[in-house]
Amino acid sequence: MNKILKINKKINSFKKTINVEGDKSLSIRWVLISSLSKKKSIAFNLLKSEDVMSAINCIKLLGSKVKISKNKCEIIGNGLYLNIKKRLVLNAGNSGTLGRLILGLLINSKKKVKLVGDKSLSKRDFSRVVIPLRKFGAKFNRRKYLPLDMEGIHNPNSIKYLEKKGSAQVKTAIILAALKSKGLTTIKAKKSRNHTELMLKSLKIPILVNKNNKQFDQIKISGVRKVSSLNYKIPGDISSCAFFIVLTLLSKNSQLLIKDINVNPTRIGIIKILKMMGGSIKLINKRTYKGEKISDIYVKSSKNLKGINCPIKYNSSAIDEFLVIFLVAAKSKGSSYFKELSELNQKESPRLKWASKILNLMGVKNEMTKSSIKIFGNPNLDLKKKIIIKNFSKDHRIFMMSVIAALTFGGRWTLNDSECFKTSFPKFLEILKKIKR
């Protein structure tokens, strides 16, 4: 059903402390990796969003036992060897991460498995994982789009692979398949989020990562016989936090403290970029947990924001945050330029196109190409007009970006599909209410 949210008023000044929900990348990885252990794994603060629930449903169908209560989730997996009796259909819902990663796990399934997804996921490119998984020995009925039939192989080959897109999903699908194969797999991967590598290291699985090259990591991993249990306290998601960081920067006389956030260096491009633009953001109380950096984030309203030529070295570590970064560019003095971002159009919706469209609706001048956008900022922008956001493929981040735009730039906004944020951040509106109170 299409539910509508209307916002007609900017947010008042606030000074608050909040928590956001658990990190989505870590939550999905915890679910999938725990399914490889026959022992009980326990997670606290697991994100209970639709994407993570889809992951849980998939591993249940593959034979894992899952118990979820208010504070924790327990998984007893069925080990590394799949014993699928009947033809299975796995549904990845809206999640590219789940869809791509689970294909890695299916590498040793001798039974055919069908992978399906929702309308948006069925438009996304799966050839990026089909190509390396074929090298391991898997067979697929088609190359690019869901639904896909995959037939794994009893003893997968090990492979050598060059991953050029900087996609953590592709890298992880290969690592998961390598865990089930014979021999040593070597991946040269353009740098991207490294949660899988850190989780496997915390499980004492021998995975060697050479980071000496500026652009690429070299990863070496061999097949293993068993995986031990993985107990994990999942920190807050910087990608969820991003909406409130920008809300605070663009609001008058406001301050926000966000507790216990994963600030893995491969994820904090948004902080680096917003600081370059003049944003007042501090990481405090830094610590390390299972190789992941965690910290609290303190943000203050920032008046003198300035446009930048955004260095491409931050692209991968800010990939899910560009939509809100573009809002900061819209409020900055001077123009901002963001380039080599064609991957943004490969997400839940073509996000670069949508960003340009929403900026146009807001009256913010911008020039977009297939892979870049130049935004002409206006520090005095104050909207009065009516803006309707619809038919955006229910992309959760487009919706949340629009909410933040409405609350900081003003105007009378009508947002369709107003439940879609539940794919990644079910408490988004609840936390927003707490900030407004």
- The widest CA-to-CA distance across the chain, in whole angstroms, is 63
Dihedral sign of CA atoms 349, 352, 355, 356 in order:
negative
Q: What is the DSSP letter of 236?
A: B
**Burial class of 70 by CB neighbour count within 10 A (0 to 12, 13 to 18, 19+):** exposed
Report the site for ligand S3P in 167-196 (rule: CB under 6 A): 167-169, 172, 193
* C-beta of 193 vs 422, nearer to ligand S3P: 193
Output the smallest distance, CB 143 to ligand S3P, in A: 17
Q: Shortest approach of ligand S3P to residue 302 CB, angstroms?
A: 26
CB closer to ligand S3P, 55 vs 107 = 55
Stretch that binds ligand S3P, among 163-171, 199-207, 219-227, 257-265 (CB under 6 A): 163-171
Could you tell me the smallest distance in angstroms from the CB atom of residue 193 to ligand S3P? 6
Burial of 238 (0-12, 13-18, 19+ CB in 10 A): buried
Q: How far is CA 220 from CA 80, 188, 350, in A?
A: 19, 9, 34
Distance CA 235, CA 25 (A): 11
d(CA 254, CA 18): 14
Conformation bin of residue 265: beta by default, left when phi > 0, alpha when psi is -120 to 50: alpha
Rg (C-alpha) for the chain, rounded Å, is 21
> Considering the complex, what minimum distance in angstroms separates the CB of residue 275 from ligand S3P?
22
Decide: is 163 part of the binding site for ligand S3P (CB under 6 A): no
Q: Which of residues 300-319 bind ligand S3P (CB under 6 A)?
A: 319
Q: Which helix (H) or strand (E) holds 417?
A: none
Of 111-119, 161-169, 357-365, 383-391, which segment contacts ligand S3P by CB under 6 A? 161-169
Output the smallest distance, CB 222 to ligand S3P, in A.
Answer: 22
Question: Is 129 within 8 Å of 173 (Cβ atoms)?
Answer: yes
Give the DSSP H/E element, type plus range, for residue 286: strand 280-289
The two tokens of residue 391 are 């038919």
Residues 319-338 that bind ligand S3P (CB under 6 A): 319-320
Q: Can you tell me the distance from the alpha carbon of 307 to that of 364, in angstroms, rounded to the nearest whole number?
A: 14
157 or 371: whose CB is closer to ligand S3P? 371
95 or 254: CB nearest ligand S3P: 95
Task: Tell me the closest approach of the beta carbon of residue 183 to ligand S3P, in angstroms.
Answer: 25
In 251-335, alpha helices (H):
269-276, 322-330
Q: Which stretch binds ligand S3P (CB under 6 A): 30-38, 77-85, 166-174, 182-190?
A: 166-174
Q: How far is the CB of 334 from ligand S3P (least distance, A)?
A: 28
**Which residue, 185 or 254, has its beta carbon nearer to ligand S3P?**
185
Q: Which residue, 193 or 427, is less far from ligand S3P as judged by CB?
A: 193
For residue 226, the one-letter residue type is K
In 35-126, which residue ranges form alpha helices assigned H by DSSP? 50-61, 96-105
Q: Please give the backbone phi and psi of residue 118, each rounded to the nearest 5 degrees, phi first.
A: -75, -175
Please confirm, yes or no, whether 320 is among the known catalytic residues: yes
Q: How many residues bind ligand S3P (CB under 6 A)?
A: 9
Give the shortest CB-16-to-ligand S3P separation in angstroms. Answer: 27
| CA 398 to chain CA centroid, nearest Å | 13
The site string for ligand S3P over 343-382 (x = CB under 6 A, - otherwise) reads ----------------------------------------
Given the complex with ligand S3P, which of 97 and 108 has the nearer CB atom? 97
Mark the segment that binds ligand S3P (CB under 6 A) among 14-22, 165-173, 176-184, 326-334.
165-173
Residue type (1 letter), 415: L
Rounded to the nearest 10°, the torsion over CA 171, 176, 177, 181 is 120
Two tokens, residue 426: 């079910």
Quick one: 122 or 414, whose CB is closer to ligand S3P? 122
Identify the active-site residue in 217, 260, 320, 417: 320
For the window 262-301, what string marks contact with ligand S3P as x by the rule CB under 6 A?
----------------------------------------
CB of residue 129 vs ligand S3P: minimum separation in angstroms? 10
Nearer to ligand S3P, 25 or 49 (CB): 25
Indicate which single residue of 5, 21, 22, 25 sits in contact with ligand S3P (rule: CB under 6 A): 25
Burial grade of 240 (CB within 10 A; 0-12, 13-18, 19 or more): buried
* Closest CA relative to residue 288, chosen from 258, 264, 259: 264
Give the span between the Cα atoms of 53 and 43, in whole angstroms. 14
| Interaction residues for ligand S3P, span 64-123 (CB under 6 A) | 97
Active site residue ranges = 320
- Contacts with ligand S3P by CB under 6 A lie at 25, 97, 167-169, 172, 193, 319-320
